[in-house]
Amino acid sequence: MRTWLWCLGAFWSLQATAQTVTPARPNILWIITDQQTAQAMSMAGNKELHTPAMDRLAARGVRFTRAYCAQPLCTPSRISMFSGRMPHQMQITTNASDRENRWPDTVMMAGRLMKAAGYRTGYVGKWHIPLLTTDSARHGFQYMKNIQMRDWMDAATPADCAAFIKQNSGQPFFLIASFVNPHDICEWARGDDMKMDVLPPLPDSSHWPALPANFDIPAQEPPVVREQQHSNYRTYPTLQWQPDQWRAYRWAYNRLTEQVDQYVGMVLETLRKYKLEDNTIVIFTSDHGDGYAAHRWNQKQVLYEESASVPLIIAGPGVRAGAISEQLVCNGTDIIPTLCDYAGADKPSYLAGRSLQPLLHDSAQPWRDTLVIATTFADNEKSLDIDGRAVITARYKYIVYDKGPIREQLFDLQQDPGEMHSLATDKRFRPIQQQFRHYLQQWCLSSNDHFTFLKP
């Protein structure tokens, strides 16, 4: 009897030791859409579209209403998200193909980081970063499917994700599901065939959304913003559009967002099917936003809210359900530290971002009061040699470009959320503007950013 009790005690002791050394860690599913502005979700108050999958995820977790991308352009934003560094620190500020293979060996890619932490790693869908998909030693993904850009790839992504989840349901896994839409709005705007989906016929104009309240171009806008639209008329076919064309644009964009929401729902349903919801952290975001007709803008790149703000929802075990956070976060710099926290991995010393985990459990956590994001205007892979930075606080947003007779904008986002009335020339706000200049100068020094701007 004593021998049996001793064996039982030894067994539980070993179990306790094992649990201490190797605690149970959640699976992590990271879902990324492409060119989805933060406004394009029904739970965000948008009554012109319906996104039930995103809504259900938000009901299970925390939705960040002040989330921004590091740079509103595909490759730089993805470079930032998968490295945790700003695009200028990675020396990649324009679009680039995987053939360039420019990922620095000294920077841990998300897949490599999670693989080193003991996770089974998978990537499905759009890639669009300058790192060869065959270079698994650097990217760290053990399972890669549906990577090459092709028609209808969004439709294949849920099935490939389901195969990975089923195969790895008994061990901690890290999976990125990367969708292309609503990026097809670029093809729709120039009259090309879309790549991911087929839209229903354009209905009567009575069914089109109204123009946004900030449809007009703001007074005292830096001229470089409009000048760069002339770099490629296929990218910006909207220069001579009439208001009704912009309304139709918003209708099409909403439908594309609804279609990608269905695919997102399929991936989330796979977690439920294999009873993994209770042990999976789900991160949902987008690489950047879209002009969405605000300021007569299609595409991204500008630092206005519609292009730079992104959806960010995190749900899973221990996360506050149905919560909203108004803290300033950046999906480019804050997600990798968050992954490290959940995986029990050491955060690389070169990262300046912060883990979002405390905000997921406690709304009262102290947080940053200022955020800096960037842009480099580009014609795909060609830089147009126009750089800009935005410094954002809870109330104000300061934008500055490095060229032109007018370079600065200052908006009171509480009084002017549509960014229509720049305060940069108002003498009453000169002290605030000086504070932003000084902050940006110090930030550039600390982050090795050689951006040139007006001195305070």
Residues 6+ apart with CB under 8 A from 104: 90
Return the pLDDT at 291: 98
Tokens read off for 151: 């028609």
Where along the chain do the CATH 3.40.720.10 domains lie? 25-368
Residue pair 283/28 in contact (Cβ under 8 Å)? The answer is yes
Phi, psi of 6 (to 5 degrees): -65, -45
Local structure of 32: helix, strand or coil? strand
pLDDT over 70 for what percent of the chain? 94
pLDDT above 60 for 412: yes
456 has a pLDDT exceeding 50: no
pLDDT for 455: 54
What pLDDT, on a 0 to 100 scale, did the predictor assign at position 233?
92
Confidence label for 8 from pLDDT (cuts 50, 70 and 90): very low
Partners of 61 in beta bridges = 315
What mean pLDDT do residues 103-121 have?
95
Spatial separation of the C-alpha atoms in residues 246 and 203, rounded to whole Å: 14
Structure confidence at residue 17 (pLDDT): 34
Nearest alpha carbon to residue 100 among 66, 128, 70, 67: 128
DSSP 8-state assignment for residue 309: B
Lowest-confidence pick of 21-30, 43-52, 73-82, 128-137: 21-30
The pTM is what? 0.93
DSSP per-residue string spanning 297-358: --SS-S-SHHHHB--EEEESTTPPTTEEE---EEHHHHHHHHHHHHHTPPPPTT-----SHH
- Share above pLDDT 90 across residues of the chain, in percent, rounded to a whole number: 88
| CB distance 61 to 320 below 8 Å | yes
Query: Do the Cβ atoms of 198 and 152 come closer than 8 Å?
Result: no
- The model's confidence at residue 12, banded by pLDDT at 50, 70 and 90, is very low
pLDDT at 250 over 80: yes
Q: Which residue has the higher pLDDT, 13 or 344?
A: 344
pLDDT digits (tens, 9 = 90+) for 34-45: 999 999 999 999
25-368: which CATH topology?
Answer: Alkaline Phosphatase, subunit A (3.40.720)
Q: What is the mean pLDDT of the chain?
A: 93
Q: What does the pLDDT average to over 349-370?
A: 93
Every domain of the chain with CATH number 3.30.1120.10 lies at 372-446
CATH placement of domain 372-446: 3.30.1120.10
Q: 159-189 pLDDT, tens per residue?
A: 999 999 999 999 999 999 999 999 999 999 9
Cβ(279)–Cβ(325) below 8 Å: no
Residue whose entry in the numeric block shows the structure tokens 């975001």? 285
Candidates 326, 322, 334; CA nearest to 373 is: 334
- The span from the CA of 110 to the CA of 353, in Å, is 14
Residue 295: what pLDDT? Answer: 98
Q: Provide the pLDDT confidence category of residue 98 given band limits of 50, 70 and 90.
A: confident
* pLDDT-derived band at 311, boundaries 50, 70, 90: very high
3 vs 181 pLDDT, higher one: 181
Average pLDDT on 440-448 reads: 96
197: region left, alpha or beta (phi > 0 left; psi from -120 to 50 alpha): beta
Query: Minimal CA–CA distance to 335: which of 59, 179, 139, 114?
Result: 114
Instruction: Compare 102 and 258 and report the one with higher pLDDT.
Output: 258
